[in-house]
Structure 1
Amino acid sequence: MREIVSAALSDSAREKDFAALPVPDSYRGAVVLKNETTMFTGMATSEKDPGKSVHIQEVPTPEPGPGEALVAVMASSINYNTVWSALFEPLPTFKFLERYARSVAGAQRHDQPFHVLGSDLSGVVLRTGPGVSGWKPGDRVVAHCLSVELESADGHDDTMLDPAQRIWGFETNYGGLAELALVKTNQLMPKPAHLTWEEAAASGLVNSTAYRQLVSRNGAGMKQGDVVLIWGAGGGLGSYATQLALNGGAVPVCVVSSEEKARLARAMGAELIINRAEAGYRFWKDENTQDPGEWRRFGAHIRELTGGEDPDIVLEHPGRETFGASVYVARRGGTVVTCASTSGYQHQFDNRYLWMNLKRIVGTHFANYREAWEANRLIVRGMVHPTLSAVFPLPETGEAARSVHRNEHCGKVGVLCLAPEEGHGVQDEELRDRHLEQINLFRGPLSR
């Protein structure tokens, strides 16, 4: 593994050098274990601790099959699907691995007593399987997390509609929180040359997800001048959504949970901020009863900021806690675009405000390859920037996941895998210098 790291850190190593490197029989990965899936039974979600369920252990190195690549992972990052996997919610991910192994030829190797987590990476291609022509050993890459078979006609207009689409590192094994990772080569994209390994690894999942939600015709189809309500604008998904809204000429209304995150939203360029903790919004009177009075107060707050306009688009991801309010505050004919449900999957809303005001609810899930490529292109060109706030070494992946689970973070939390320390991997110093302040925004004084 030392030879692989040395080559990855070298500016002179070429395809033949990487192709000649021996691939180790095993590698270290952040895993959850099949025999521990009941360890949190009976506990409330808030009490479960990813630091106890995520382990670092040696796993056997898989051989890349047709259309696959083995990547030396320099860095990765934590996403909410890593947290869900570590909490075994809404069900243990081993169910996904078993289903994958039964339904796809050659996928039996994914059904293991361990699950290597992680749906982001930056790194270097080590090996490619049969039939691969677009990527070669030595290529510096990031990976998006859509794993798709494309054997059904349903996926050939939008690969996210393929019945066999899965999220790599969540519904497949051999994910990115590890020293090596197995990916399909149609997950690979060029690494932004002006970013370090850990910065480059931060954006793939959340930036692509936000792009599909807001910009794509498969999501809300955001246009110039749209008022966009963004929940959790200081977090991973929301921080990229805020940048995309600003880049696209929209007017973001950023909902945050602290003054610290409000300052970060303003530093990104947003002017309309709602600190929900300061305003004291409580959209539920109790476990079973929502409070429409709070919806109205929230809607009035938004109109006060926008000069009387309701949101054209509501970017939803908290789920149960906020969904009723989101449907209420969207403008007549507006769109609530939803992915994930970090506060609960069972959503409730008053349908009168949806049907009588001709609003739409659009479900989106990650992004197809084209959308992910376009989102990555914005990073490559320095138009959207990583929102990395903290970096942990691979052995502390459980602690990193705990930080995200407890919402102690701003932006994204990164993990160093083969990179020996932060700061490696930059090739375009000129572009980096032009955007250094934005690249470091979530790591500077404002994020503390």
Structure 2
Amino acid sequence: MKEIVDAITSGQATARDYSALRLPESYRAATLHRSDTGMFEGMASADKDPRLSIHLDEVPVPELGPGEALVAVMASSVNYNTVWSSIFEPVPTFAFLERYGRRSSLGRRHDLPYHVIGSDLSGVVLRTGPGVNLWKAGDEVVAHCLSVELESSDGHNDTMLDPEQRIWGFETNFGGLAEVALVKSNQLMPKPEHLSWEEAAAPGLVNSTAYRQLVSRNGAGMKQGDNVLIWGASGGLGSYATQFALAGGATPICVVSSQEKAEICRRMGAEAVIDRRAEGFRFWRDEHTQDQREWKRFGGRIRELTGGEDVDIVFEHPGRETFGASVYVTRKGGTIVTCASTSGYIHEYDNRYLWMSLKRIIGSHFANYRESWEANRLVAKGRIHPTLSRVYSLEETGQAAHDVHRNLHQGKVGVLCLAPEEGLGVRDEQMRAKHLDAINRFRAGRLAPV
């Protein structure tokens, strides 16, 4: 492994040099164990601790199949699916691996007693399997997390509709929180040259998800002049949605939970910010009853910030806690576009405010290859910036997931895998200098872990 790291950090190794490197037999990885899946039974979700379930193991390098690539992972990051995986919700991820294993002989590689998790990476291609022509050993890459088979016609208009669509590192094995990862070659994209390894690994899943959800015609199809309500606007998803709204000529109305997070949104360029905690918005009277007076108060606050206008689009991802309010405050004919449900999957809303006002609810899940490529292209051009706030070591992956679970983070948190330190991997210093303040925007407002 040291030879691989030396080749990458030298910046001088050629494709031939990488091809001549001996692959290690094993590598270090953040894993879950099948034997632990019952460890949190009977506990509330908030009380489950990823530090107890995420292990650092030495695991064998997987067999390389057709259309696949082995990547030396320099850095990765933690997403909310890392949290779900680590607390075994909504189901243990081993159920996904078992299902994948039944599909084919190559799928059986994924059905193991351990699960290497992680759905982001930046790194260098080490080997490619038969049928891979676009990528070669030595290419510096990032990976999106859509894994598809495309043997059914359903996926050929939009690959997200492939019946065998999976999220790599969540519904497949050999993910990015490791020193080596196994990906399909059509997950690979060029690493933005002005970013370090950890910065380049941060956008991946959330940037692509926000792009499809907000910008793509498969999502809300945002246009200039739209008012966009963004829940959790300083978080992993919301921080990219805020940037897309600003870059696309829309007006983001950013909802956050602290003054520190409100300041982050203002540093991104947002002017309309609601600190829901400071303003006391509570949309549920109790576990079973929503408070429609709070919906109305929230809608009034939005109009104060927009000059009397309602929102055209709601960027939804908290789910149960906020969905009733989201439907209510959307303008007549507007759109609520939803992915994830971090506060609960069972959504409740008053349908009168949907059907009588001709509103639409659109479900959105990650992004197809083209959407991911476009989202990454905007990062590479310096139009969208990483929202990295803190970096952990691979040994600290459990702590990183714990901090995300407890909402002790802003933007994204990164994990160094093979990279020996932060700040490595920058190839275009001139471009970096132009955007350095934006790149470091979230580093100035870290939240201390507890």
TM-score, with structure 2 as normaliser = 0.99
The residue identity in structure 2 corresponding to 1:257 is S
Q: Hey, what's the Cα distance between the residues in 1 that align with 2:271 and 2:106?
A: 51
The residue identity in structure 2 corresponding to 1:162 is D
What is residue 52 of structure 2 aligned with on the other side? 52
The residue identity in structure 2 corresponding to 1:71 is V
What is residue 31 of structure 1 aligned with on the other side? 31
Residue pair 1:264, 1:447 contacting (<8 A) in 2 also? no
Residue pair 1:283, 1:291 contacting (<8 A) in 2 also? yes
Tell me the CA shift for residue 63 of structure 1: 2.0
Q: Hey, what's the Cα distance between the residues in 1 that align with 2:345 and 2:446?
A: 32
Tell me the CA shift for residue 99 of structure 1: 0.3
Q: Hey, what's the Cα distance between the residues in 1 that align with 2:22 and 2:446?
A: 44
The residue identity in structure 2 corresponding to 1:344 is G
The residue identity in structure 2 corresponding to 1:44 is A
Give the secondary structure class of the aligned counterpart of 2:205.
helix
Residue pair 2:389, 2:442 contacting (<8 A) in 1 also? yes
Q: Hey, what's the Cα distance between the residues in 2 that align with 1:357 and 1:156?
A: 34
What is residue 283 of structure 2 aligned with on the other side? 283
Q: Hey, what's the Cα distance between the residues in 1 that align with 2:104 and 2:135?
A: 24
In structure 2, relative to structure 1, the CA distance for the partners of 1:192 and 1:284 (3 Å cut) is: same
What is residue 120 of structure 2 aligned with on the other side? 120
Give the secondary structure class of the aligned counterpart of 1:331.
strand
1:215 aligns with 2:215: yes
Tell me the CA shift for residue 446 of structure 1: 7.6
Q: Hey, what's the Cα distance between the residues in 2 that align with 1:118 and 1:170?
A: 7
What is residue 135 of structure 2 aligned with on the other side? 135
In structure 2, relative to structure 1, the CA distance for the partners of 1:54 and 1:152 (3 Å cut) is: same
Tell me the CA shift for residue 238 of structure 1: 0.2
Residue pair 1:242, 1:252 contacting (<8 A) in 2 also? yes
Q: Which runs of 5+ in 2 are unaligned?
A: none
What is residue 167 of structure 1 aligned with on the other side? 167
Give the secondary structure class of the aligned counterpart of 1:209.
helix
What is residue 403 of structure 1 aligned with on the other side? 403
Query: What aligned pairs does 1:67-146 form with structure 2 within 5 A after superposition?
Result: 67-146=67-146
What is residue 192 of structure 1 aligned with on the other side? 192
Query: What aligned pairs does 1:13-412 form with structure 2 within 5 A after superposition?
Result: 13-412=13-412
The residue identity in structure 2 corresponding to 1:23 is L
The residue identity in structure 1 corresponding to 2:201 is A
In structure 2, relative to structure 1, the CA distance for the partners of 1:124 and 1:446 (3 Å cut) is: closer
Q: Which runs of 4+ in 1 moved over 6 A?
A: none
Q: Hey, what's the Cα distance between the residues in 1 that align with 2:137 and 2:77?
A: 23
What is residue 434 of structure 1 aligned with on the other side? 434
Give the secondary structure class of the aligned counterpart of 1:103.
coil
Residue pair 2:319, 2:341 contacting (<8 A) in 1 also? yes
The residue identity in structure 2 corresponding to 1:192 is P
Residue pair 2:260, 2:445 contacting (<8 A) in 1 also? no
Q: Hey, what's the Cα distance between the residues in 2 that align with 1:393 and 1:127?
A: 25
The residue identity in structure 2 corresponding to 1:247 is A
Q: Hey, what's the Cα distance between the residues in 2 that align with 1:270 and 1:236?
A: 16
Tell me the CA shift for residue 104 of structure 1: 3.6
The residue identity in structure 1 corresponding to 2:235 is G
Q: Residues 361-398 of structure 1: CA distance to partner in whole angstroms, max 9, x if unpaired?
A: 00000000000000000000000000000000000100
Q: Hey, what's the Cα distance between the residues in 2 that align with 1:105 and 1:12?
A: 38
Residue pair 2:410, 2:446 contacting (<8 A) in 1 also? no
Q: Residues 325-350 of structure 1: CA distance to partner in whole angstroms, max 9, x if unpaired?
A: 00000000000000000000000000
Q: Hey, what's the Cα distance between the residues in 1 that align with 2:373 and 2:431?
A: 20
Q: Hey, what's the Cα distance between the residues in 1 that align with 2:156 and 2:107?
A: 22
Q: Residues 276-332 of structure 1: CA distance to partner in whole angstroms, max 9, x if unpaired?
A: 000111100000000000000000000110011111000000000000000000000
Q: Hey, what's the Cα distance between the residues in 2 that align with 1:329 and 1:162?
A: 34
Q: Hey, what's the Cα distance between the residues in 2 that align with 1:159 and 1:310?
A: 34
Residue pair 2:124, 2:139 contacting (<8 A) in 1 also? yes
Residue pair 1:149, 1:164 contacting (<8 A) in 2 also? yes
Q: Hey, what's the Cα distance between the residues in 2 that align with 1:340 and 1:106?
A: 29
The residue identity in structure 1 corresponding to 2:360 is R
Residue pair 1:146, 1:367 contacting (<8 A) in 2 also? yes
Q: Hey, what's the Cα distance between the residues in 2 that align with 1:445 and 1:229?
A: 23
Residue pair 1:123, 1:140 contacting (<8 A) in 2 also? yes
Tell me the CA shift for residue 210 of structure 1: 0.2
The residue identity in structure 1 corresponding to 2:148 is V
Q: Hey, what's the Cα distance between the residues in 2 that align with 1:64 and 1:323?
A: 43
Q: Hey, what's the Cα distance between the residues in 2 that align with 1:313 and 1:70?
A: 40
Give the secondary structure class of the aligned counterpart of 1:284.
coil
Q: Residues 123-166 of structure 1: CA distance to partner in whole angstroms, max 9, x if unpaired?
A: 00000000100000000000000000000000000000001000
The residue identity in structure 2 corresponding to 1:239 is S
Percent identical across equivalent pairs? 72
The residue identity in structure 1 corresponding to 2:321 is E
Q: Hey, what's the Cα distance between the residues in 2 that align with 1:405 and 1:17?
A: 41
Computed over aligned residues only, the root mean square deviation of the Cα atoms, in angstroms, reads: 0.8
TM-score, with structure 1 as normaliser = 0.99
Q: Hey, what's the Cα distance between the residues in 2 that align with 1:283 and 1:409?
A: 23
What is residue 420 of structure 1 aligned with on the other side? 420
Residue pair 1:69, 1:182 contacting (<8 A) in 2 also? yes
In structure 2, relative to structure 1, the CA distance for the partners of 1:447 and 1:433 (3 Å cut) is: farther
Q: Residues 403-430 of structure 1: CA distance to partner in whole angstroms, max 9, x if unpaired?
A: 0000000000000000001010000000
